[in-house]
């Protein structure tokens, strides 16, 4: 009698692969850059590095303003925006179409910010007209908090259209682009976006631990004056230290070297090419998954994360487990009411078409193992890649 090897035995010889919504796989170049012996952060050598990285971050954001780095996750940058941009009693409008839109609302709630919420069905993009209507009805609202790529649903929101609304109404727009920057176009100055936040572990291809706040030229003074309580996340301190190439508090030195190398890789590829490659990766993933019987969850899908629902009779959790245990591939599941009902596949960073082939081949095997044999995923992916 032949006994099949347990999943753990198969996995022993399998290279672990990350296709999560973050952190993403870290390219070897970045790992090498990060492995150097870190200099002390109050030296001329590191000051020069710090200044170079902030200049390149401004290039990435396409802004003539300032980009401030914090030793924190992306949520730290979100909290920094709330406490530095709002004075006590000022009212906000928050767009909530998933877990990370909810995070904006929850941060505001923690600080007692009066807050209006535009609720969007999960998987759909907000209607800019609804935002315009809400702003017209309530002149007390000073700031709109939005999300570009909603990681929990795989949906993309139209930041450019939102900025047209907020600029036209004289309100401030703050965008969580943590899974947007380095993936989707978001030319901050050209689109008129006041403030953009991101984190190191998504499109920047580095480990978690650095958060950034990008202030457009006209928004530089928005952090001044009486604001909500702030100390570590007081952006005035970060801005004051920046010209000297220093941070207000101890920076994440090794991670800054990682981000520096990531930005160098992006500059070598060209920003437009980075955006186009991510569009092709997303198109290939969507097409391949649909060929296997999966359904796209997002009605306006992002290029950072593909959210898919399995074919009838296939359990999403079983697929996720088998991908990990048999193929060494980690993807994410659904959150809240979508827990156990979807897969979320991240393809931000240095991925190429061959990586998508690996993922889809494994996904094809898992679907067959779950009793729904299907084929044609890689061919569908190839056609979509070439057409995108």
Q: What is the pLDDT of residues 364-377, one digit of tens each?
A: 999 999 999 999 99
Q: How far apart are CA 115 and CA 135, in angstroms?
A: 12
pLDDT of residue 6: 46
Q: How far apart are CA 135 and CA 294, in angstroms?
A: 38
Rounded to two decimals, what is the model's pTM? 0.95
Give Cα 356 distance to the centre of its chain: 19
Does the pLDDT value for residue 170 go beyond 50?
yes
| CATH 3.90.1150.10-classified regions of the chain | 7-25+271-387
- pLDDT tens string 376-388: 999 999 999 999 9
pLDDT band of residue 319 (cuts 50, 70, 90) is: very high
Which class for 303: exposed (0-12), middle (13-18), buried (19 or more C-beta within 10 A)?
buried
Q: Within 10 A of 143 (CB to CB), how many other CB atoms are there?
A: 24
pLDDT band of residue 26 (cuts 50, 70, 90) is: very high
- Compute the average pLDDT of residues 345-356: 97
Which class for 29: exposed (0-12), middle (13-18), buried (19 or more C-beta within 10 A)?
middle
**Sign (positive or negative) of CA dihedral 151, 152, 155, 159:** negative
- pLDDT tens string 3-18: 344 444 444 567 899 9
pLDDT of residue 14: 73
pLDDT of residue 9: 42
Class of domain 7-25+271-387: alpha beta
pLDDT of residue 15: 83
pLDDT of residue 259: 98
- Compute the average pLDDT of residues 102-125: 97
Query: Is there a contact between 81 and 174 (Cβ–Cβ < 8 Å)?
Result: yes
Tokens found for residue 203: 């499109």
What is residue 64's DSSP assignment? S
**Sign (positive or negative) of CA dihedral 269, 275, 276, 280:** positive
Does the pLDDT value for residue 211 go beyond 90?
yes
Average pLDDT, the chain: 95
Percent of the chain with pLDDT over 90: 95
Does the pLDDT value for residue 72 go beyond 80?
yes
- Compute the average pLDDT of residues 229-250: 97
Q: What are phi and psi of 69, to 5 degrees?
A: -100, 140
Residue indicated by tokens 């508090």 = 249
Helix (H) or strand (E) holding 141: strand 141-147
Name the residue among 377, 357, 384 with its Cα closest to residue 283: 384
**Domain topology for 38-268:** 3.40.640
- Compute the average pLDDT of residues 133-153: 98
Residue indicated by tokens 């176009």 = 185
pLDDT of residue 105: 97
- Compute the average pLDDT of residues 271-298: 98
- Compute the average pLDDT of residues 190-207: 97
- Compute the average pLDDT of residues 40-52: 95
Does the pLDDT value for residue 62 go beyond 90?
yes
pLDDT of residue 13: 61
């Amino acid at each position: 009698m032949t006994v099949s090897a347990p999943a753990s035995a198969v996995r022993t010889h399998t290279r672990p692969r990350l296709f999560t919504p973050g952190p993403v796989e870290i390219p070897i170049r970045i790992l090498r850059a990060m492995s150097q012996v870190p200099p002390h952060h109050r030296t001329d050598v590191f000051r020069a590095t710090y200044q170079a990285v902030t200049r390149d971050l401004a290039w990435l954001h396409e802004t003539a303003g300032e980009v401030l780095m914090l030793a924190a996750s992306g949520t730290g940058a979100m909290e920094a925006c709330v406490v530095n941009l709002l004075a006590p009693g000022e009212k906000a409008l928050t767009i909530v179409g998933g877990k990370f839109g909810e995070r904006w609302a929850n941060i505001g709630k923690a600080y007692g910010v009066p807050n209006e919420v535009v609720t969007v069905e999960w998987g759909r993009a907000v209607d800019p007209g609804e935002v315009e209507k809400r702003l017209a009805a309530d002149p007390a609202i000073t700031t709109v908090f939005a999300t570009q790529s909603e990681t929990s649903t795989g949906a993309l929101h139209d930041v450019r259209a939102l900025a047209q609304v907020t600029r036209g109404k004289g309100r401030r727009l703050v965008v969580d682009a943590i899974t947007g920057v380095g993936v989707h176009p978001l030319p901050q100055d050209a689109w008129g976006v006041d403030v953009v936040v991101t984190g190191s572990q998504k499109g920047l291809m580095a480990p978690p631990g650095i958060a950034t706040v990008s202030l457009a030229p006209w928004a530089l003074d928005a952090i001044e004056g009486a604001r909500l309580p702030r100390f570590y996340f007081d952006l005035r301190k970060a801005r004051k230290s920046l010209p000297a190439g220093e941070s207000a508090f101890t920076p994440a030195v090794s991670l800054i070297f990682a981000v520096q190398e990531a930005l160098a890789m992006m500059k070598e590829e060209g920003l437009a090419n980075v955006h186009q490659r991510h569009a092709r990766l997303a198109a290939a993933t969507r097409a391949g998954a649909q060929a296997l019987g999966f359904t796209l969850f997002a009605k306006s899908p992002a290029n950072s994360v593909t959210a898919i629902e399995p074919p009838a009779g296939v359990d999403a959790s079983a697929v996720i487990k088998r991908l990990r245990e048999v193929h060494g591939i980690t993807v994410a599941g659904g959150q809240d009411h979508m827990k156990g009902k979807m897969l979320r596949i991240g393809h931000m960073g240095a991925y190429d078409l061959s990586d998508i082939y690996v993922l889809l081949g494994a996904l094809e095997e898992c679907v067959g193992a779950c009793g729904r044999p299907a084929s044609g995923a890689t061919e569908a992916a190839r056609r979509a890649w070439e057409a995108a």
